[in-house]
Copies of this chain bind each other. A is one copy, B any other.
Amino acid sequence: MTNLYDRHSALLARAAEALRTRVFWTPFPEVPSGKIYGESAMADGTAAFEALVGNAFDIPGHPETRRVGRENAPWGKSLSISYPSADPATLIAASIKAADRWASADPETRSGILLEALTRLNAMSFLIGHATMHATGQAFPMAFQAGGPHAQDRGLEAVAAAFAEMTRSAAAATWEKPQGKREPITLEKRWRIVPRGISLMIGCQTFPNWNGYPGLFASLATGNTLIVKPHPGAILPLALTVKVLREVLAEEGFSPDVVLLAADEPGAEITKTLVEAGVFSIIDYTGSSVFAAWLRQNAGSALVFTEESGVNSITITGTDDFAGMCDNIAFSLSLYSGQMCTSPQNLYLPQGGIETNEGHKSFDDVVGGIVAAVDRLLEDGTQASSICGAIASPATFERIEKARHAGRVVRESRETGLGASATPLLVVSGEHEDGPWNHECFGPVSFFIACADAHAAIARAAAIAREKGAITAALYATDGALIDEAATAFARAGVNLSVNLTGNIYVNQSAAFSDYHVTGANPSGNASLTDTAFVAPRFRRVMIRWPKAA
């Protein structure tokens, strides 16, 4: 057995340091380059992916009573992969059986194993990129990053935060209480880290790894066993993850069943059956607020960590770089066709227009500027495809169709020419304050909403965040007082605010080790990646104390 903790302890310490300072850092390069990952990495990854397509996915030793697999094919390429599957009771029994030894391992041992798995996953990022691309509809560069290094960053964050918390206070102490002139009372004390129990991670369709790794690695690091329930449309990225974790676990002498895959198929999902078994102590979930509410009602005493629906916004009150603003917004609206939890949906503008470096711009001028920027950005089909990717779920096309009737369409959604695609539909909302823009409309749909003035625009964007949830908010403003006003309003609404973004940085982007993803302070989710509240309740401390021998 290798000492994996020793191998990776410098990485762990560096990650903990980054979590404190919040400056830029990552050990997992985001550029899909042969210079970084090895000259043959791209070809090897492609070959490894193609070898999986159409075949039975092997997870040695995994409980299996049948095979399942009917994943989405947003790019038109059917994966046709079958995964080992077993009924919930079998999976739960296997998880329970593996629990004691994993719980007894010390934080160093567990962290070492998880960091080794992350390192191996990193080396597989091209394979994971292809898997993520074809399961989610992301274009390859995004799929590489979001399924690979960026997800690995978030996993490392969780391990580092959990390790810091588990080792934050002494594991042993000699407690000596003075008794005046008499001998002091002296107790020896030892604390064990005790996991909460069995955990369940329920994956999502669009970012299976990125959204899955935090809960997955946090639960494992703190000694819980884990059942991974991927979205039936996007299994492969998490199946690869489970497989690697099981390999390292087995090599280190643990039961690989510490991590299990609960694959299922659309229309025959086993999530509710799993939850209703009532055995889970922790559930991590990314998806709709409707299902999150069901979970909270039915999860018993389990901790439920969620990322849910929301209405992200851009508030435009002025800019000294009108062209840069329009280009930046155009990219944010187009990226992965609005299928990011961070994609902006509503654009709030003063009805009287705004002042810019190009002079006054009316409401329609601003709308026109953004529409033109989107058109320009997506003019070329290949580029459009590489930015918009493909649509993960057919329901998204239905939402686009519905949104078309919600107001004045100023830009039609179009196909890119590759896969099941749809570029942004841009709609100027109707006169009424209420409308479909006051709900999450997941996908490439955005609404321009005219407000009385800049203050009203900020107030409405903040109000919808507070009421319906929001993970991101953007603001364009030149007036310092207005920025302060917005900073307070969005802070109270519990939403992270990006101000005056132009150039190559977008409101959609959330960087591990620096940006806490989701604040937990509005209905868009209660889990903040990765703060202490996300890791600390996943384990408990139990003491034994005895009088010190004289």
Contact residues of A with B, CB < 8 Å? 19-24, 165, 168-170, 173-179, 185, 187, 189, 191-192, 194, 196, 487, 490-492, 494-505, 511, 514-516, 519-521, 528, 531-533, 536-537, 540-547
Contacts and interface: CB of A to CB of B under 8 A. Distances in A.
B546 A514 contact: no
A170 B533 contact: no
Contacts of A497: 542-545
Contact of A519 (B22, B174, B540): B540
Given A515-B545, A521-B540, 13 more contacts: A22-B173, A168-B532, A173-B514, A185-B503, A185-B504, A194-B494, A501-B547, A519-B541, A519-B543, A520-B540, A531-B536, A533-B537, A537-B537
Nearest to A492: B194
Given A20-B168, A170-B21, A511-B175, A192 B491 contact: yes
A515 B541 CA distance: 10
Contacts of A165: 532
A24 B186 CA distance: 9
A175 B543 contact: no
A419 to B, nearest CB: 29
Nearest to A516: B541
Contacts of A543: 496-497, 515-516, 519
Contacts of A20: 168-170
A20 to B, nearest CB: 5
Contacts of A196: 521
Contacts of A169: 19-22
The 5 closest A-B pairs by CB, nearest first: A521-B540, A533-B536, A499-B546, A22-B173, A533-B537
Contacts of A177: 24, 505, 511
Nearest to A26: B177
A433 to B, nearest CB: 24
A65 B501 CA distance: 53
A164 to B, nearest CB: 9
Contact of A521 (B175, B492, B542): B542
B544 A194 contact: no
A504 B497 CA distance: 57
Contact of A547 (B500, B528, B540): B500
A520 B170 CA distance: 18
In this complex, the member of A176, A185, A500, A543 whose beta carbon has the largest number of chain B beta carbons within 10 angstroms is A543
Nearest to A21: B170
A179 B504 contact: yes
Nearest to A507: B545
A543 B547 CA distance: 49
Contacts of A176: 23-24
Nearest to A546: B499
Contacts of A490: 542, 544
Contacts of A505: 177, 185, 187, 547
A358 to B, nearest CB: 19
A98 to B, nearest CB: 15
A533 B21 CA distance: 22
A247 to B, nearest CB: 28
